[in-house]
Amino acid sequence: MSNHARTFVGFGFGPIQSGLFLYEAFRSGHFGRLVVAEINSALVGAVRDHGGQYTINIAHADRVEQATVEGVELLNPNDAADRNQLIEAITCADELATALPSVEFYKTGGDNSVVSLLNEALCKRTPDCPAIIYAAENNNHAAEILSDSLTSEASINVQVLNTVIGKMSGVLDDAQAIASLGLATLTHSTSSAVLVEAFNQILLSRVTVPHATRSTDVFIEKDDLLPFEEAKLFGHNAIHALIGYLAAQCELVNMHQAGQSDHIMTTARHAFIHESGAALCRKYSHLDDDLFSPSGFAYYADDLLTRMTNPYLHDLVSRVVRDPERKCSYHDRLFGAMRLALTQGIEPHHLTRGAAAACQMMHGVTPFADRAALASTLTNLWGTDADQYANTLIDLTWLALSRSR
């Protein structure tokens, strides 16, 4: 089988699918068929009316450029005819990618859910026809969750890969912002624009299924992905959130405005390199990887700090700080990074400033009355996840809140 006869199938047509997986599959030139399952009928119709084409906007450090992807089949699994075509495409797919809001969506939709469609189609494949599935949901165990949902018949010669996606992306619906930035909408009949950064160095679990090959060769395989997943969550995500919550305190609108604040960026850089970074380097010092060396992590941090505040990415502070309850959960980016630092003997005072700002946003405009009020909020949020570090995390956060008054 020639490379050009390969089939790619995606699930979900958000910015990660359209601006990363599908875009890279198209750009590789190795696929003869590009298929995406999408339940938004208006979006499906818009791409079809545009001849199977759509346009994304790619933010570089000094400009935004447009890229058009062609030959895309958007299929709605809730439509019987589309569903049949989708099952046929999955049956012969070489590479697939799920890019859904969360792993909970794997089983959403009954007989038309991702899991149901995969189980129905993959079991029709012959054992000598391998396939790989990129699980792009923001969960360190997304691949295992999806794999466990596949039947034994469907999982033969199929491997689900975890991913670490450091590519920032979003969808803009503000017509004034789209016009002022000179962005192209997804199609001529849609009002929204997909804006992604140029960065595309995505990390994957090592492919081990026999005879499987990847044609999306810009991605990088790692034997053990967990250290890099932690670097993403407790480094990239934690510091992105910290900048966002400190920016919100200053009533800034865009993340690039935060990049112009010496106070915010000095705090962010110290937290990134000397707290979460130092903790990650200590934890994974045994690995032969430059990322987990002091100089390698400093380079990683400085590159990300520049990318996070890129004015051409037009990243809104309101987007970065949304859902503070999730971001303040015990094992998530803020308190998870602080806890990691404590386990490595590092006091996370700069990280704490971001956590404190997030807690105050979660609490509302009224300041916490005392430490007990903060402790009640956090212990209720953390539940049984809390461990021996919980009181120290509360103490540090209360100290930061007290100093900010």
pLDDT tens string 240-278? 999 999 999 999 999 999 999 999 999 999 999 999 999
Q: Are residues 111 and 236 in the same domain?
A: no
Residue ending a domain, choose from 172, 191, 222: 222
**Amino acid at site 205:** S
Q: Are residues 216 and 358 in the same domain?
A: no
Q: Are residues 214 and 243 in the same domain?
A: no
Whole-number Å distance between alpha carbons of 174 and 191: 8
Q: In the prediction, which pLDDT does 218 show?
A: 86
Residue 373, CA distances (Å) to 368, 382, 397 in order: 6, 14, 12
> What CATH number does the domain containing 378 carry?
1.10.1040.10
Q: Are residues 161 and 294 in the same domain?
A: no
Tell me which DSSP letter residue 185 carries. Answer: P
Q: Are residues 198 and 334 in the same domain?
A: no
Domain that holds residue 81: 3-222
Q: Are residues 244 and 187 in the same domain?
A: no
- The tokens 């346009």 sit on which residue? 55
Average per-residue pLDDT for the chain: 96
Task: Report whether pLDDT(126) > 90.
Answer: no
What integer is the mean pLDDT of 340-368? 97
Identify whether the C-beta of residue 317 lies closer than 8 Å to the C-beta of residue 258: yes
Residue ending a domain, choose from 222, 238, 254: 222
pLDDT digits (tens, 9 = 90+) for 137-148: 988 899 999 999
Percentage of the chain with pLDDT > 90?
95
Q: Are residues 31 and 15 in the same domain?
A: yes
Q: Are residues 209 and 304 in the same domain?
A: no
Predicted confidence band at 1 (pLDDT cuts at 50, 70, 90)? very low
Q: Are residues 114 and 218 in the same domain?
A: yes
Q: Are residues 233 and 147 in the same domain?
A: no
Q: In the prediction, which pLDDT does 10 show?
A: 98
Residue ending a domain, choose from 184, 199, 222: 222
> What CATH number does the domain containing 119 carry?
3.40.50.720
Whole-number Å distance between alpha carbons of 405 and 401: 7
Tell me which DSSP letter residue 186 carries. Answer: S
- Which residue, among 361, 310, 396, has the nearest Cα to 61 in the 3D structure? 310
Predicted confidence band at 2 (pLDDT cuts at 50, 70, 90)? very low
Task: Report whether pLDDT(4) > 90.
Answer: no
Q: How many domains does the chain have?
A: 2
Q: Are residues 193 and 239 in the same domain?
A: no
Q: In the prediction, which pLDDT does 216 show?
A: 81
Identify whether the C-beta of residue 103 lies closer than 8 Å to the C-beta of residue 137: yes
Task: Report whether pLDDT(394) > 60.
Answer: yes
Task: Report whether pLDDT(347) > 50.
Answer: yes
Tell me which DSSP letter residue 316 carries. Answer: B
Q: Are residues 274 and 362 in the same domain?
A: yes
